[in-house]
Structure 1
Amino acid sequence: MLFGLFGSAQANSTALGAGIGQGFLDYIDFNVEAEQLGYYSTYLVEHHFTGWGQVSSMLNVLTWLAARTTTLRLGTATMVLPWHNPVLLAEQAATLELLSGGRLNLGVGKGYRHAEFSGFNIPIEEAEARFEECLDVMLKAWGASERFSHHGKFWNFNDIIVEPNLVKRPAMWMGAGSEPSIRKVASRGFNLLLDQFADPKLLRQRIEIFKQAISEQGRVYNPNEVTVARELFIAKDEQDKQAAIERLNTARRRTIEHARAPDKAGGSHILSYAKEGLPPTDTALIGTVAEIRDQLHALKEAGAGYLIFTILGGSRDTLQRFAGEIMPEF
């Protein structure tokens, strides 16, 4: 199995928040240590207008991290395309791919938080169409050997060529949960990002859908092309475990409040699991080493071969103990 990190950082390290909850430079050092401990990758989330100081410029942070590391793969989970100029984003991603020696895992998505779409003054109803147009322009730009023009619904470009020119585009990842969306990921030739909320039974179903879609295209399935996110915290005892769960629920409440539209029920990502309040915490890897080891075996049995962890509170103890006491078994 492969193991990586998944989360965020805060500009102000004195106010811990969701995800890693560390200052930007602390976050860099955290990931440098992760590489040394044998972690395979790190994925940053993109968020705006929270007031929590979360990472809003992922490619900038990952470029800094690329200069401090040599093997760690550098992921976005996800870059929300409806908010970005596709040509500028294609140029920035190509630059990081080049400087990092081909280590970029570019995860892309449509976004789900009401406050962010409202802040950008972009109707969330346009998310799908904006996503598709942005992605089409990016893929065309990376593959173009000659100048081209684009005149679409949201973007217009005249006689352009994206530089730096890439011989091979970055590894592309995309989040999905329903069967149609999973099949769409496979049809694009992208890798699949699966969320941190689905239990092993649902996880198995989603992986099987992806495997079948890959097979129908005549391609060979690689388990490293599916990433499963999970929260992780190694607790000292039951009291420590329950305190970590309460911190996780506090962070999730704040995310839901920021994401939910005031006049609309439901939504995607965490909102689809929060119909009864909060998503269940039993899928999070929070507990003793023995408990987490058992959960990992269940995930492996369900078909998960590549996990990325939000290490709660940015716990160095959890980072180190997982690498030393659990990772070798898998």
Structure 2
Amino acid sequence: MQFGLFCSPKADAAGFGPETGQGFKDYLDFNIEAEALGLCSSFSVEHHFSGWNQASATLMLLLALAMRTKTLRVGTAVLVLPWHNPVLLAEQAATLDLLSDGRFDFGIGKGYRHSEFKGFAMPREEADARFEEGLDVLTRAFTTRERFSHHGRFWHFDDIVVEPPPMQTPHPPFWVAAGHPQSIRNAAARGFNLILDQYASPAVLGERIAVYRAEREARGLSFAPGQVAVARQLYVARDKADKEAALEKQRQYTQRTITSARPPDGKTGSHVLAYADKAGATEENAMFGTPDEIAGMLEALRAAGVTYILLTISGGADQLRRFAREIMPAFADAPAARAAE
């Protein structure tokens, strides 16, 4: 198995206001240590208007991280295409890919938080169409070295050549988060890599990986287990009471996200809102527990076909170190295990 991070950086930190950016600086230090401990990647969210200083300029943060690391792959999970000018986004992403020496993983999505669509004065009903058009322009910008024009429903460009080209060919790998079977098939058919959510059980994850693999193979595309990443929340607990306290703290944090995301019409989708109405569902499969308990959870994930896990680590660098030294060596690839020792 290989392990990366799933991060939601905030500008503020304990004792420091958002104007200091201390939380972003702590995020960089945390990820630098993760690289030294043998983790292979770090994906970060993009969010707006939350009121709790979440990362909004994600590519800028990833560029800062790329400049301070050597091997860590840096990724978005996810950048929401409907909100971005696709030409400007292609330019910024290619620049990041070049300066990271081809270590950029481009996670893209349609968005799901009601508060964000409301803030951008954008109907959620347009998300699919905006995503598709933005993706078409973005892909063409990455792969075309000749001038082109585009006149679509949302975007118009005349006689442009998008510069610079990315280092990775034909472009940085696209990753999408999906849970519904048809969405997974769509991702596989396009050759995208797949991110599966924090909340699904190992059995459900195994079913989703099988759908993805079958569709890729039906399309004549190769399948490798590392094309699927599974997000998981992690807390290495001292005992049962410590575990339960951490789970309650996580539940409160997740509820804040649910409140921000829930639309007036009550629609859910395959993201966190799909689990919001069942008590305990958003914590049911979190990897919270003693080292032995977490090892058992990892065994169940491995048995389901999961080989790549993106960890959202609660509790800071001490938790990262405990995982890397007490748990990861039994599951990680050999180079990562040696780094953690």
TM over 0.5: yes
Post-superposition, which runs of at least 4 consecutive aligned residues in structure 1 deviate over 4 A? none
Kindly indicate whether the alpha-carbon contact (under 8 Å) linking 2:254 and 2:282 is maintained by their aligned counterparts in 1.
Answer: no
* Amino acid in structure 2 at the alignment position of 1:312: S
Q: CA deviation at 1:278?
A: 5.4
* Local SS of the residue matching 1:23: helix
Post-superposition offset of 1:15: 7.3
Answer yes or no: is the 8 Å Cα contact 2:95–2:166 preserved in 1: no
Counterpart of 2:62?
A: 62
Q: Distance in 2 between matches of 1:201 and 1:144?
A: 42
Corresponding residue of 1:29: 29
Shift of 1:7: 1.9
| Equivalent-residue separation in structure 2 for 1:151 and 1:285 (angstroms) | 47
Aligned-residue identity in percent: 54
Q: Which residue of 1 aligns with 2:145?
A: 145
- More displaced stretch, 76-85 vs 166-175: 166-175
Q: 1:158: Cα distance to partner? A: 0.5
Structure 1: gaps of 5 or more residues: none
The answer to whether the aligner puts 1:131 opposite 2:131 as a matched pair is yes
Partner of 1:200: 202
Equivalent residue, structure 2, for 1:11? 11
CA distance in 2, matches of 1:231, 1:104: 23
Counterparts in 2 of 1:92-241, with a 5 A limit?
Answer: 92-166=92-166, 168=169, 169-241=171-243
Provide the C-alpha distance between the structure 1 equivalents of 2:221 and 2:72, rounded to a whole number of angstroms: 27
Select 2:249's aligned residue among 239, 247, 251: 247
Matched, 1:77 2:82: no
Shift of the alpha carbon at 1:60? 0.1
The whole-number CA distance in structure 1 between the counterparts of 2:258 and 2:5 is 22
Paired with 2:106 and 2:267, the residues of 1 have a C-alpha distance of 30
Are 2:320 and 1:326 aligned? no
Q: CA deviation at 1:155?
A: 0.3
Q: Classify 1:166/1:10 alpha carbon distance in 2 versus 1 (closer, same or farther; 3 Å).
A: closer
d(CA) in 2 for partners of 1:249 and 1:165?
Answer: 43
Give the deviation of 1:279 after TM superposition: 2.7
In 1: Cα distance, 2:165 partner to 2:247 partner:
46
Partners of 1:278 and 1:124 in 2: CA distance: 28
- Residue ranges of structure 2 left out of the alignment (5+ in a row): 332-341
Offset of residue 280 of structure 1: 3.7
Mean alpha-carbon deviation: is it higher for 177-186 or for 147-156? 177-186
C-alpha spacing 1:305/1:185, structure 2 compared with 1 (3 Å): same
For residues 54-111 of structure 1, give each alpha carbon's deviation from its aligned partner in whole angstroms, at most 9, with x where no partner exists: 0001000000000100000001000000100000000000000000000001000000
- What is the rounded CA distance, in whole Å, between the counterparts of 2:189 and 2:221 in structure 1? 11
- Secondary structure of 1:4's counterpart equals strand
Aligned residues between the structures: 325
What SS is found at the alignment partner of 1:281? coil
| CA–CA separation in structure 2 for the residues paired with 1:5 and 1:31 | 8
1:264 and 2:299 matched = no
Deviations 1:185-223 (A, max 9, x none): 011111011001100111000000011011112222100
Change in CA separation of 1:278 and 1:236 when aligned onto 2, cut-off 3 Å: closer
Do 1:266 and 1:275's aligned partners in 2 also have CA atoms closer than 8 Å? no
Q: Give how far 1:323 is off.
A: 0.8
Q: Distance in 1 between matches of 2:203 and 2:269?
A: 22
